[in-house]
A and B are shown apart, each in its own frame.
Chain A
Amino acid sequence: MDLPLIETPVAARWVWMEEVTYSHIPIATLITAFLVLAPIYEYIGYRWGDKRFDRLARSLVYFSMILYSPGAALGTGIPMFIIGLWPEFWHRWANLFFWPLIFQFIFFLTDVGFLFFGYYLPWDRMQNRKRLHIFFGVMTAVFGLLIQVVWDSLGGYMTTANTPLPMIDQPVGMSWTAFFNPSFPFLFFHRFFANISYTMLLTGGVLAIKHLRQKDPAEKAYFGWAGDLTFTVGLLTFFVLPFIGWGFARVLQDQAPVVFHSIMGGHASIFFLVKMGLIGLLLLLGAAYLFARHRSRFILWTSTLGLAGIYLVLHWHPALDLLPGGKPVWRAAYTVVIAGLLVLLWRIKGRTDPDRPWWKAAMLAVGLASFLAFALGGFVRERARQPWTVYEEIVKPEVLPLEADRWLVYDKCLGCHHQSPKDLARYAKKDWEDRVATERRRPGVRITDEEARRIVAFLKENYR
Chain B
Amino acid sequence: MTSLEMPVIGAKWAIGFIALFHTSVGSLAIGFAFFVTVAQIAAFRTRNRSLDLLAKKVQLIHVCIYNIGTINAIGLVFLLSGLFPQFFGQIFVQFYWPLIVEEFLFFLLATTLTFHYFFWDRLWGHKKLHIFLGALLTPFFILQVYIINGLGAFMLTPGMGEAELTLRAGVLGWDRLGFYSPSFLMLNFHRGLANIAYGSFAVAGICGAMLYLVKRPRIKEFYEEGGRLAFYVAFAAFLSLPLVGYFYAHVLMGQANEAFVNLMWGRGDIVAGGIDWWWLKHIFVAAMLGLCLVYFYQADKAKAPFTLPAVMVWSVAIFYVLFYMAMGMVMTWAFFWWMLAVGAGGALLGRHLLGFHQGSGRGLYLLIGILSFMTVILGGYAREASRPRFVDRIAHYDQVFVPRERQPFLMVEVDPGQIPEAVPKPEPSGPQILIRRKCVGCHTLDRVKAYRGDWGTIVRQMEAYGLKLSHLESKAIVGLLESGQPY
Interface of A toward B, CB cutoff 8 Å: 1-7, 65-70, 72-77, 79-81, 83-84, 87-88, 90-92, 94-95, 98, 101-102, 104-106, 108-109, 112, 116-117, 121, 167-173, 387, 394-395, 397-401, 404
Contacts and interface: CB of A to CB of B under 8 A. Distances in A.
Given A1-B86, A2-B404, A6-B172, A76 B4 contact: no
Contact of B67 (A72, A91, A170): A72
B451 interface: no
Contact of A91 (B66, B85, B103, B404): B85
A72 B5 CA distance: 27
Nearest to B66: A69
Contacts of A109: 68, 71-72, 75
A349 B401 CA distance: 70
B64 interface: yes
Q: Size range of the interface on B?
A: 35 or more
Interface stretch (B34-42, B406-414, B471-479): B406-414
Interface in B103-121: 103, 106-107, 109-111, 113-114, 118
Interface of B: 1-5, 60, 63-64, 66-68, 70-75, 77-79, 81-82, 85-86, 88-90, 92-93, 96, 99-100, 103, 106-107, 109-111, 113-114, 118, 166-167, 170, 172-173, 401-407, 409-414, 416
A73 B109 CA distance: 9
A400 B404 contact: no
A191 B444 CA distance: 56
B414 A399 contact: yes
B173 A84 contact: yes
Contact of A168 (B77, B172, B403, B414): B403
A173 B4 contact: yes
Nearest to B78: A101
A399 B107 contact: no
A383 to B, nearest CB: 18
Contact of A87 (B89, B100, B103): B89
A88 B89 CA distance: 8
A77 B107 contact: yes
B89 A395 contact: no
A72 B71 contact: yes
Identify which of A66, A84, A404 gathers the most chain B CB atoms within 10 Å of its CB. A84
Q: Is the interface of B mostly helix, strand, loop or mixed?
A: helix
Contacts of A77: 103, 106-107
Contact of B85 (A6, A74, A95, A172): A95
Given A95-B82, A109-B71, A395-B409, A117 B88 contact: no
A393 to B, nearest CB: 10
26 contacts: A1-B86, A1-B401, A4-B167, A65-B118, A68-B114, A69-B63, A69-B67, A69-B70, A69-B113, A72-B74, A73-B110, A76-B77, A81-B103, A83-B77, A84-B100, A109-B71, A112-B67, A116-B67, A168-B403, A169-B2, A171-B1, A173-B82, A395-B406, A397-B409, A400-B413, A401-B412
A147 to B, nearest CB: 10
A268 to B, nearest CB: 19
B231 to A, nearest CB: 26
A404 B408 CA distance: 11
Nearest to A3: B93
Given A72-B70, A74-B107, A91 B77 contact: no
B410 A169 contact: no
B68 A171 contact: no
B74 A108 contact: yes
Given A90-B81, A90-B89, 9 more contacts: A1-B85, A3-B89, A5-B414, A69-B114, A77-B103, A81-B103, A83-B77, A102-B75, A106-B75
Contacts of A398: 414
Nearest to B407: A395
B172 A94 contact: no
Nearest to B81: A94
3 closest A-B pairs (Cβ-Cβ)? A105-B75, A73-B110, A98-B82
Contacts of B404: 1-2
A42 to B, nearest CB: 21
Nearest to B417: A7
A66 B410 CA distance: 44
Contacts of A400: 413
A88 to B, nearest CB: 6
A418 to B, nearest CB: 23
Contact of B92 (A87, A169, A171, A172): A87
Contacts of A387: 410
A79 B110 contact: no
Nearest to A94: B81
Contact of B88 (A66, A74, A83, A108): A83
A94 B170 contact: no
B70 A83 contact: no
Contact of B410 (A76, A102, A404): A404
Given A79-B74, A79-B81, A68 B416 contact: no
B89 A6 contact: no
Given A6-B173, A401-B413, A171 B74 contact: no
B167 A3 contact: yes
Nearest to B76: A105
Contacts of A116: 64, 67
Contacts of B66: 69
A91 B78 contact: no
Nearest to B64: A116
Contact of B79 (A69, A102, A171): A102
A76 B74 contact: yes
A169 B81 contact: no
Contact of B89 (A7, A74, A83): A83
A100 to B, nearest CB: 9
A79 B416 CA distance: 23
B454 to A, nearest CB: 41
A72 to B, nearest CB: 4
A279 B100 CA distance: 36
A403 to B, nearest CB: 9
A5 B96 CA distance: 11
A286 to B, nearest CB: 31
A76 B78 contact: no
Contacts of A70: 107, 110-111, 114
A166 to B, nearest CB: 10
A169 B81 CA distance: 13
Contacts of A169: 2-3, 401-403
Contacts of A5: 172, 414, 416
A3 B68 CA distance: 32
Nearest to A116: B64
A447 to B, nearest CB: 15
Identify which of B64, B118, B412 gathers the most chain A CB atoms within 10 Å of its CB. B64
Contact of A4 (B71, B74, B78, B416): B416
A203 B81 CA distance: 38
Contacts of A83: 77, 81, 88-89, 92
A2 B419 CA distance: 13
Contacts of B77: 76, 79-80, 83
B172 A4 contact: yes
A6 B90 CA distance: 12
A148 to B, nearest CB: 15
A117 B409 CA distance: 51
Contacts of A84: 92-93, 96, 99-100, 173
A34 B63 CA distance: 19
A174 to B, nearest CB: 10
Contacts of B88: 83, 91
Nearest to A16: B100
A183 B78 CA distance: 24
A87 B167 CA distance: 13
Contacts of A121: 60, 64
A167 B3 CA distance: 10
Nearest to A104: B78
